[in-house]
Amino acid sequence: RDAEPEARGSDEQRVVGGRRRRRHAGGRDVRARERDAALEARATSALGGALATRGDRASAREHLQRAADAFQRLGDAGSAATATASLADLAHREGRAAEAEALAERALSIHSAQKDLLGEANDRVLLGRFAADRGDLRAARAHLGRSVALARESESRKVEALANGWLGLVAQLDHHRDPSTDQASRSPTEGPLDRAARAPTEGPLDRAARATAEGASNSEARGLFEGAASALGAMGLVPAEALFTGLLGVALREQGASAEAFARLGAATERIANGGDDAHLALFLVHLASLDADIGRAAEAAATLARAEKLLERAAEPAILAIAALVRARIEPSREAEALSLIHI
């Protein structure tokens, strides 16, 4: 009889212990599912970025939005804001400027509230680029200058170099702005290639290239481009290094420094071809082809241009395509009407 209460107690303990084990196991399952969901969201975001780089913007947008939504469900507002910033960059490249600004401002407000210095620095690089693109140089300098300060505070040499590189673009624009409006103005020596890049469908990359071309001989911009390319290259960030090397090459070409421009553009295209943005590569190939055409190397120009045109079949960049068409018309005058049909001069 004395053993019966002890047996009952043991049974109760086993039941209670079993419940506890099940609760702990259930908790572990929940945490495991959350970890898996977070890993999946990060992978989805990374894939979205890669797709954007390769020019598949529809798929990139879908993946980035899925990632942003997943982070939001997980309560990870900071990562959701980072994905939103990537969506802003994509929207801007597609010419949806107002949407891009709104998305970037949303990301900035979240990162600022969380005191995420690096997140805010990245957001301000975007907003600085957007402001420069619409000609608001004062706002562009403010965003990019603040980004440099935040990057230094968070010890991110990468973001500091990117911000300085885009400050080079602002310096080019500022070198040729209209003092009465404080807006970037049109170059009085603008040629048909530059006017082609002013097509209403142009993307921000094209406007960046056109802006560098308008800079004439701006030593501040050149120093910033060179410094950014050097710093990014030292970190192994080849596509970013190539972008600023190429933009410097475009500027040098317009200044008449053909040999140096050819070297810079050649280096940029070689590096981007090993894993960079198709639109960047196409833009710089077009300028290389134009340099070849300048010195009468029609066969070389045609071959380089064919590479660019193949890239442009999958990278929707109407303004770069228009510039390519003008270069093609220089090689094949019979195609001038076709080229002019793609632009608004």
Task: Output helix, strand, coil percentages for the chain, rounded to the nearest 5.
Answer: 80, 0, 20
CB 322 within 8 A of CB 328: no
pLDDT value at residue 84: 97
pLDDT value at residue 213: 44
CA count, 13 A, side-chain hemisphere, 163: 27
Q: Please, where are the H alpha helices in 57-116?
A: 57-73, 77-93, 97-113
By CB atoms closer than 10 A (0-12, 13-18, 19+), residue 286 is buried
In three-state secondary structure terms, 174 is helix
CB 85 within 8 A of CB 104: yes
What ranges make up the beta strands (E) of 222-333?
Answer: none
Q: Write the single-letter amino acid at 29.
A: D
By CB atoms closer than 10 A (0-12, 13-18, 19+), residue 39 is exposed
What is the distance between the alpha carbons of residues 38 and 45, in angstroms, rounded to a whole number?
11
Q: Write the single-letter amino acid at 206.
A: D
DSSP state of 334: G
Q: Write the single-letter amino acid at 164.
A: N
Q: Write the single-letter amino acid at 158.
A: K
What totals of helices (H) and strands (E) does the chain contain, helices first?
16, 2
pLDDT value at residue 90: 92
- The tens-digit pLDDT sequence of the chain (345 residues) is 555 555 555 666 665 555 665 555 555 666 778 788 889 989 998 898 888 877 788 899 999 999 999 999 999 999 999 999 999 999 998 889 999 999 999 999 999 999 999 999 999 999 999 999 888 999 999 999 999 999 999 999 999 999 999 999 888 777 666 554 445 544 333 333 343 343 333 444 444 444 444 444 467 888 899 999 999 999 999 889 999 999 898 878 877 888 999 999 999 999 887 766 788 889 899 999 999 998 889 999 999 999 998 888 876 677 787 788 888 888 887 777 766 666 554
DSSP state of 217: S
What is the distance between the alpha carbons of residues 124 and 141, in angstroms, rounded to a whole number?
10
CB 279 within 8 A of CB 317: yes
CB 198 within 8 A of CB 187: no
In three-state secondary structure terms, 183 is strand
What is the dihedral angle through the alpha carbons of 277, 280, 314, 132, rounded to the nearest 10 degrees? 100
What is the distance between the alpha carbons of residues 76 and 80, in angstroms, rounded to a whole number?
6
DSSP state of 332: S
Q: Write the single-letter amino acid at 232.
A: L
pLDDT value at residue 216: 40
The tokens for 149 are 């300060």
What is the distance between the alpha carbons of residues 226 and 164, in angstroms, rounded to a whole number?
10
By CB atoms closer than 10 A (0-12, 13-18, 19+), residue 31 is exposed
